[in-house]
Structure 1
């Protein structure tokens, strides 16, 4: 492995490499050696930026959570435009076609990672919890605009959509869009 090669934004390169491994090979294939090999750098690069591999994984999860939070801001800003169903279908697909399902499996598989995340995150499954907050916030924005019924239980609806979305994407390659559309249209049928 080459040493002394300058990396632009080494943290992001390492995160992207870990994400590719997670998506391609699953959480059990995620090792520091696999990540640095995938990133094309020396193993020491990872340890220069992170105290240990679990610290790296915790930062990876937190980085991906930040992406979901940013997606939530964009989704709330979209309230009132397009159809509620199309906005939800797009949001669920974006969350779960990415690395979210793999991250949930990774957190489940690694006790030390779960323990580290519990110290800095609210209770619940990281990424899934943030996806629920994202969907609930969007539904509230649509409710304020009158596009979702005033009495709708938004938290329960968000839970159903995120849980259903996770199940549709877990362990599959290429979830058909019509399944996500069916989930969303069925779930919101009584409240739009």
Structure 2
């Protein structure tokens, strides 16, 4: 009996690692288990710019200025609606009045502060400001993100436009055209 009590006393007297050490060792082992499990999975990342992923058809990226496809003239009429609706106030437009129509004398976009909220695209009556399918904005100089009218036109010519023009977006937000046609057939045209 005495021997068993001595063995128990020695076992209980043996130094045990502190609780903190045991917790740390368990955490390290759990992390290593996750690492080993993921080591043999196929990677989910790509090495940009060597490889690029396919982007969704509705992807919207950089802003650009478009030209009128029928006349070849710039589409912006300098109405300044985009400037008024911009939440961070990063768009500045000066109007140039002409005999035929108005133009934007200057159009400046501070892309480094843009929220890409798309309100300027939605409000544009001539679909002059569009979003492209490009997203590559990286630069080492902040001044390169201050885009003037010429740079915005160059972006519009260089990259494919997104599906979302202002007129398409406004049509999507209104009631469906079929429902409007049925309303007019039942009630008659508006104002009658």
Largest Rg, 1 or 2 = 2
**Structure with greater helix share of residues:** 1
The alignment's TM-score, normalised by the length of structure 1, stands at: 0.26
TM-score by length of 2: 0.26
